[in-house]
Amino acid sequence: MKLSLIFEEKPERWGLRGDPYFWDYLKEIADKMDMISPEELEKWIKEEYLSLSGKDLTEKYMDFAVIEQFAHGGMSSGGVDNMWWTEEGIPMLKERLGKLSR
């Protein structure tokens, strides 16, 4: 079973305009990965964020990174929202992974 299964259903709400592109980026990589633990998932997402943005994915309020490859126009184009990923995205994906593991 491939890790990309947890990315199949997209969230209805995002933080910034770059978030769906980061989601798709992760899904594409996850399509080549087998299932991992929820802890490994969080570590992997944070490593990918760091490699693309040069910044740590933290819980700091109003922190975000602009990732040029996800910039497709608009004020927050390319912006990937740390708070959304730490409070919603990663917990959602970890929950989905846990359900598949059972």
34: phi then psi, degrees, rounded to nearest 5: -85, 170
Q: Tens digits of per-residue pLDDT, 42-90?
A: 999 999 999 999 999 987 766 788 787 887 776 667 888 899 999 999 9
Q: Tens digits of per-residue pLDDT, 49-60?
A: 999 999 999 877
Find the mean pLDDT for residues 16-44.
Answer: 95
Whether the Cβ atoms of residue 59 and residue 15 lie closer than 8 Å to each other: no
DSSP one-letter code for 2: B
Q: Between the CA of residue 77 and those of 55, 64, 72, 84, what are the distances in Å? A: 17, 12, 6, 15
Structural domain spans, the chain = 3-101
Here the tokens at position 19 are 């978030």
Neighbours of 10 (CB within 10 A): 11
Terminal Cα-to-Cα distance of the chain (whole angstroms): 13
